[in-house]
Amino acid sequence: MPVQRLFSFLGWPVTAGLLVAVLLLLLFPGLRQNSDSAPSSPAPAASGNWGPVSYSDAVNKAAPSVVNIYTTKLVKRRYRYSDHPLYRHLFNNANTPQQVRMQSTLGSGVIVSKDGHILTNNHVISGADEIIVLLHDGRETAATLVGTDPDNDIAVLKIELENLTAITMGEPVKAQVGDVVLAIGNPFGVGQSVSLGIISATGRYGLRTNNEYENYIQTDAAINPGNSGGALIDARGNLLGISTAVLDETDSSAGISFAIPADSAMKSLEQIVQHGSVVRGWLGLDANQLSPEGMKRYGTAGIIVMAVLEGSPADRANLKPGDIITHINNQSVADARQGLFLVADITPGSEVNLRVVREGETLELVAIAGVRPSARTRT
């Protein structure tokens, strides 16, 4: 077909299409796109892979359960010149009064029951003569100390008020690195504040804190002085942990902060409420994880007993230095820290079944769990 006839044949459909397009633009001006601007990116979805636009729902859900804690204690101090050679005789007298001053500290807490039980850190209220709690709704009241668990840096308070909002518990065992978290507390005493971050590690330990049972949730959400005892929540407003420490010599947030898992804190609370203190199982031995060379040498994984305290449950069960514990109550033991937690969860007075490898022979030993001494009395 000649080129002229081809264009003549195709010309009328093109013309008709152009006329239709012009009519559509005239009738529906909204179809016109501004040619001077680039196509806009789609707005992020309210949920899904991009995460929520706002975390206000989570904060509004959890914030009424987070309280500010103010403590005071009387501190006796010697006079400035009491040790000076010229004035010592004036002050070294039993009748000489000492200077007494009020020392204040601040922190945070979390209401975990409608009857007024509050979780906070032991170091927040340690030595306090008076504990004042300020609620999210502006109410203020004195708090009673129910008990403490210094080995887990947990303290339980009780307030007598009505219409309290208990926080919803989350599932720390399901927390993963990369999950969004928010820290709610009273940093620097400025009032309730919220910071945002992610979980950067779980099961963190070996930080040389006063917490004997280190099993921290690590986060980069800002946790500063005053946040201690406050809530670390997930993106749905559920409690994941109790904020407790920062990794910085200046005691200010440096992008690495830690929280005690909520389930561990609640175990401490339940025992304190029921018994007044936390009772943990104890065997009375020192053990280390087997090295790769040790596992190859002994042909098994486990923990090797380094020392046994005389007269302890381990001693009475005939455990000896050099024994390798592979199982505790039929659960395999990978490291000494895991063994510590397994034994701590055993009720004192209960049997503890131990599978032990001694000089190549597998033995089944039975110990009776004792009561773990507190950090203050343990040597």
As annotated, the active-site residues are 123, 153, 228
Contact 68, 191 (CB under 8 A): yes
CA distances from 201 to 215, 239, 248, 326 (A): 10, 17, 17, 27
Number of Cβ atoms within 10 Å of the Cβ of 167: 23
234 phi and psi, to 5 degrees? -85, 180
The Cα–Cα gap between 108 and 143 comes to: 13
Q: What are the Cα distances from residue 268, in Å, to 288, 345, 356?
A: 26, 11, 31
d(CA 357, CA 309): 19
- Exposed / middle / buried, residue 312 (Cβ in 10 Å: 0-12, 13-18, 19+): middle
The rounded distance, in Å, linking the Cα atoms of 186 and 67 is: 8
Question: Residue 184 to residues 48, 97, 161, 180, 309: CA-CA distances in angstroms?
Answer: 24, 43, 22, 14, 43
Residues in contact with 98: Cβ distance below 8 Å, sequence separation at least 6, in sequence order: 76, 77, 78, 79
User: What tokens does 211 get?
Assistant: 């917490």
